[in-house]
Amino acid sequence: MATLTLTEATALTAAALEKAGASTAAAQSTAKALVYAEAQGTASHGLSRVAQYAGHMGAGRVVGNAAATIVKQQGATAIIDASDGFAFPACDLAIQAAINTARTQGIGLAAVTNSYHFGAAIYHLEAVAAQGMVGLAFSNSPAAMNAWGGKRALFGTNPVAAIFPRTGADPLAIDLALSEVARGKLMVAAKEGKSIPLGWALDAAGNPTTDPAAGLKGSMAPAGGVKGAMLALTIELLVTALAGAHFGFEADSFFDVKGNKPKLGQLFLVINPNAMGGADVFAERVETLITAMLEDGEVRLPGARRYALAAKAARDGLNVSDATLAQIRALIG
């Protein structure tokens, strides 16, 4: 295990991605997002993705030097074409466009098309909260969940995030995928030869299974049953149909090196409290609810653990496994 400062980890990650074919801008934007996730304890979207991203560049699944562009703006809306490149530069552009529009029109909606892996959904909304605004983020992903009553994987796990700024405190940061558990948990169980709880996954015939290998060949169970499946459907349509992105079933798995360009979609909604009841009203209402929540001593505010881990990583450094560090350094050569 090695300990790196966040600056060191970001520089190392950017160097590895650039060596693998990413432009300097794309490498830096992507590295910043991966280190953010790692520092917040979301290792599944952190530095373990560097080798995967490099492999996908080599296989032509993502264009490392693509330039994201705003291809349409109308009223409070914008469409950004990621041009089959990394999601992070395109999402940066979308978020900034939505913030700028929300400043003048009260609300901003920006969609990203022809995109790639979304990373930690909440990451994209930090800039929104920094401006005192409310943000929502949505994305689809390669197919992993069946439509309710169906047998084959059709929808992605389709992450959704929301952020609510606070005065003098970390924002409320909500970030979740819509499968009962992450697909990575099935992969770990399969490697260790362990069973999984009933309700996590379905086999290829659409039956609940405790066999992780069968679940990996089938589909993930939606969180909350039919309600989760309907939310996944809602997000799938929002992020694809409005801007022409691909559905999850049209994108090959990220866990395979070879495959197609995923061309996924993301959508961001930014709301300016000043255009509604006002910043003071918003802040008072948020804090009143938080106070009520915390009266129950067992309640933990959404995002509190992530922000605490990030503060610790900023102070003490980031612990990176030897295997992950070796993979990153091998890319640099």
Structure confidence by residue, pLDDT tens digits, 8-22: 999 999 999 999 999
Model confidence pLDDT, tens digit, residues 38-57 = 999 988 899 999 999 999 99
55 and 255 in contact (C-beta within 8 Å)?
A: no
pLDDT of 217: 87
Q: Please report which confidence band the pLDDT of residue 286 belongs to, taking 50, 70 and 90 as the band edges.
A: very high
pLDDT of 293: 97
Model confidence pLDDT, tens digit, residues 26-41 = 999 999 999 999 999 9
Q: Please report which confidence band the pLDDT of residue 181 belongs to, taking 50, 70 and 90 as the band edges.
A: confident
| Whole-Å CA distances, 117 to 7, 47, 196, 231, 313 | 23, 14, 26, 20, 24
| Whole-Å CA distances, 136 to 128, 155, 176, 234, 235 | 9, 20, 12, 14, 12
What is the Cα Rg of the chain in Å?
Answer: 20
pLDDT of 277: 97
pLDDT of 182: 77
64 and 28 in contact (C-beta within 8 Å)?
A: no
How many C-beta atoms lie closer than 10 Å to residue 326's C-beta? 13
d(CA 192, CA 256): 20
Q: Please report which confidence band the pLDDT of residue 283 belongs to, taking 50, 70 and 90 as the band edges.
A: very high
pLDDT of residue 166 exceeding 90, the answer is: yes
Question: Which domains are present in the chain?
Answer: 1-58+303-333 (1.10.1530.10), 69-179+222-302 (3.30.1370.60)
Tokens standing for residue 232? 């996944």
Let me know if 161 is exposed, middle or buried by CB neighbors in 10 A (0-12, 13-18, 19+): buried
d(CA 133, CA 23): 31
Q: Please report which confidence band the pLDDT of residue 316 belongs to, taking 50, 70 and 90 as the band edges.
A: very high
Q: State the average pLDDT over residues 276-284.
A: 98
pLDDT of 184: 72
What is the full DSSP assignment across 198-232? TTSEE-TTS-EES-HHHHHHSEEPBTTTHHHHHHH
212 and 202 in contact (C-beta within 8 Å)?
A: no
Q: Please report which confidence band the pLDDT of residue 152 belongs to, taking 50, 70 and 90 as the band edges.
A: confident
The structure's pTM equals: 0.95
pLDDT of 183: 79
pLDDT of residue 188 exceeding 80, the answer is: no
pLDDT of 58: 98
Among 63-67, 147-151, 154-158, 229-233, which stretch is predicted with the lowest mean pLDDT? 147-151
Tokens standing for residue 107? 């609300």
pLDDT of residue 190 exceeding 90, the answer is: no
Look at residues 151, 222, 241 and name the one whose alpha carbon lies nearest to residue 183: 222
pLDDT of 156: 92
DSSP summary character for residue 108? E
